[in-house]
Chain A
Amino acid sequence: MKIERSPLQLLEFLFLLARMELKARYKDRVLGYLWSVGTMFALAFVFWIAFKIIMRVEMENYSVYLITGLFPWAWLQVGTISAARSFVANAPLVREMGLAHAILPLSNVVAEMMHLIFVLPLVIAWVFFAGGYGPSVSWAWQIPLLLLLQVAFVYPIALICALANAYVRDVEHLLGIGFLVLFFATPMVYPISMVPEPLAHYFELSPLYALMQSWHSVFLEGALEPARVAYAAGFAACVGAVAWLCYRRFAPRIGEVV
């Protein structure tokens, strides 16, 4: 007993929900945007001190490497964690919509993507000033492709987490720990060349690494390795299938558990 919506209406609905998320995130203030950007740059600065000054990472354009990894990662992490809360936080909406619409976690993921898009000019400016080279023409298709890839990558994970969190509320806390581990297990604030040999092999297998490395290579080399994109996309498709099964199995009862 779903409310019928045309694709256009779905998009409108998604837009309204995502705008709501963004408003909540910026807390109705322009400063909110500056704060969330500033926090990320401060974090990047801390890592720069830790890895460049103290641990002496040998790498060209390390600050560009840091910035271009941290922002997409923040999308991944914040998007998933906020999406995990989406059914619970919007419980009345879930109950009155009849079915737990898969659109709720998607709106969180899209809101975080919008945030990344808002930040992109700053990132590009950073690349220009710190790296010394301007935007390349190929970014015009590479960046949108990566945005799409990451939505496809994050959304199924976010959907599974949101469903799980509706049934067991501790998932959102566990996610925080999980992301902390993944953050350091994915070569992103340090180059993979720093990882000792047998481990590096496993690190390279991580689909997260493929995704993050794609961002890096676009901004650092203006190139996109098809194998990495395909690997990440393949992973996204597999998780997508699992997410779809979970959704079909668990969504009908969600109105009762949130």
Chain B
Amino acid sequence: MTVAVACDDLWKSYRARRPAGLRALMLGGTPRDTRFARQWALSGVSLGVNRGRALGVIGPHGSGKTTLLSILAGAIQPDRGRVAVNGRHASLLELGAGFHGHLTGRENIFLYGSTLGMPLKEIHALYAHIAEFSEMEGSLDRPLRRYSAGMIARLRFSVIIHSPADILLIDEVLTVGDARFQRKCLGALRQFKDRGGTLILVSHDMDEVAEVCDDAICLDFGSIVDAGTARDVATRYREQLAGRGRLGEAAAHARISLLVPSRGRPELLRRFLESTLARSERPDLVEVIVYADEDDPSSHGFQVEGLEVHTLVGPRATMGRYNTACFEKSRGEIVVIGNDDVVIQTRGWDRILREMHAAMQDGIYMAYPNDLFKGRGLSAFPILSRKACETLREPFPISYRGSFIDYHLLDIFKRLESHGHRRLIYLEEVAFEHMHYRTGKGDFDDTYGRRGRFADDRTFLQLRDERSAEANRLQDTIERDTPLAPRPVSASRVPAASLLRASLLDDELPWPWRLRLYFWFLARFAAAFIFRRGPSGG
């Protein structure tokens, strides 16, 4: 048998990551990737896959699986080590992206096929099969920007499985989409293998690995910790997870609470609940706490079979009070501040959260999912442990009327970062698609109008000392040391002064975050001025 893919002693670190611009050059680097305190994404990985075999790559979140696959695909270069790929390869590495929004599905099939090195004639010949496989013949003449993430993933898989590649490198993209189509993909992958194709599959789904792959490796902290037949490795990994559960029983079976204030859009709420149920691996360990206003009966009493949904009905209040009320009712170890205009796109999102939760031993972290729009840049849906919420005096300050709570929490964790504890975790593969950007705010969304778009700016600036104290509380919990007194900065009634004190001049914050806050607020003040609403209005 010949070797199709081999690599020898791969090392990769992400220390010099993403030079984002002049700003980064001048200020000496952007904040580093904070996912777990690891230096090497890969350290000394060697493997070989024979032609016609399928290798599964498993391991906990952030263990280097995607890095390994990207290096094999040639998308990134290793710091050290050699890669040999003998044959035509094609890779599915990224979620939700890769096509072009203004082209139709049909044109994207041609462009993507050509990207993979298929001649036009061949794509023409295969087009009917590709369209049929994707089961989207009806919508292929629509521009891609109207597709959901799941549809795009389907289309890409359909092209790639028809490409003449004899080596496929597939990251967890199969987790997007419904279960039936996922089965179909697995069937197609098996056929591909039977035709003599070589497959490397990164997956979190042990059944999938055991079913499709011959062999498997398990990565942890960038090294291969287990290798063997797929079935054995998957079984051992499961046992190990269970073992980790014995160490921290609560962590491995941690309950997840989704806090979801909703108003006047039952269709979206239902969609959110259904996606939560459909994409959860353990829906029995997930609970949703919905807050609905008294005067909005359309949102009351939602039930989805198989999912624990509690609806709190109460008076109209601020967003901070909604979240606080939901939090008080919740029981989960992991608290997700969600929204009703979200669709969860990642299958097994709950397991990824639990693994991340289990890895963070002291429970002080703030994670946030990929909203498929702003990605790393925005933490619209913070994920905190119950412990972190309880450590904070007021995790969701009730004075926030609208949507500033994510910034409030992010700011606290940025302060913690300055104290030397990097606890912000971006979960790129967990997709919480924010429909807000797809559907627009719509007529149903009178909340935005009534709240006053700029109502929370001042609240945010005035709570600066509170955030400083909160960050100190988190630090104490991490270090179990004597509490530090917050360093108060005298509050000012002048917005410009309080802005400077809470951003540029605040030496408890990392520089990039100071600049971002400063300019962002300046822009908001300017906008508020233009719209004649004033930041204190409401």
Residues of A within 8 A of B (CB): 1-6, 8-9, 12-13, 16-17, 20, 23-24, 27-28, 91-93, 95-99, 167-170, 252-253, 255-257
Contact = CB atoms under 8 A, between A and B. Distances in A.
B73 A98 contact: yes
B19 A3 contact: no
B93 A170 contact: no
Contact of B111 (A17, A96, A168): A17
Interface in B67-84: 70, 73-77, 83
B176 to A, nearest CB: 15
Given A12-B120, A16-B111, A255-B76, A168 B70 contact: no
Contacts of B505: none
A20 B83 CA distance: 33
Interface stretch (B96-104, B303-311, B362-370, B402-410): B96-104
Given A96-B93, A256-B77, A12 B115 contact: no
Given A96-B75, A96-B93, 19 more contacts: A1-B89, A6-B119, A9-B119, A16-B110, A16-B114, A20-B102, A20-B111, A27-B102, A92-B97, A92-B98, A95-B70, A96-B73, A98-B74, A98-B75, A168-B19, A168-B21, A170-B22, A253-B76, A257-B18
A3 B88 contact: yes
B413 to A, nearest CB: 25
Given A1-B83, A1-B85, A257-B18, A93 B114 contact: no
Given A16-B114, A23-B103, A95 B94 contact: yes
A69 B91 CA distance: 45
A63 B279 CA distance: 64
10 contacts: A9-B119, A20-B102, A93-B115, A98-B73, A168-B19, A169-B20, A169-B22, A255-B75, A256-B17, A256-B18
B491 interface: no
A17 B113 CA distance: 12
Contacts of A13: 114-115
Interface string B427-469: 0000000000000000000000000000000000000000000
Contacts of B89: 1, 3
A95 B116 CA distance: 12
Given A96-B73, A96-B94, A257-B19, A9 B117 contact: yes
Given A20-B107, A93-B98, A255-B75, A3 B116 contact: yes
B25 interface: yes
A27 B102 CA distance: 8
Contact of B102 (A2, A6, A24): A24
B107 to A, nearest CB: 7
Contacts of A2: 74
If over half of A's interface residues share one DSSP class (helix, strand or loop), that class is named, otherwise mixed; here it is helix
A96 B21 contact: no
A16 B120 CA distance: 10
Contact of A253 (B70, B77, B85): B77
Given A1-B83, A12-B120, A98-B73, A92 B94 contact: yes
Contacts of B19: 167-168, 257
A12 B75 contact: no
A138 B103 CA distance: 39
A92 B91 CA distance: 11
Nearest to B119: A9
Contacts of B83: 1
A257 B98 CA distance: 16
A92 B119 CA distance: 21
Contacts of A92: 94, 97-98
B90 to A, nearest CB: 8
Nearest to A93: B115
Contacts of A16: 110-111, 114
A38 to B, nearest CB: 21
A256 B117 contact: no
Given A92-B97, A96-B94, A257-B19, A1 B103 contact: no
Residue from A2, A16, A17, A253 having most chain B Cβ neighbours under 10 A: A16
Interface in B293-308: none
Contact of A168 (B25, B73, B107, B110): B25
Nearest to B22: A170
A103 B385 CA distance: 47
Contacts of A1: 74, 83, 85, 89
Top 6 A-B residue pairs of the complex, sorted by shortest distance between their CB atoms? A98-B74, A3-B117, A92-B98, A1-B74, A95-B75, A169-B21
A226 B120 CA distance: 40
B117 A96 contact: no
A13 B75 CA distance: 19
Contact of A28 (B76, B93, B100, B102): B102
A165 B85 CA distance: 30
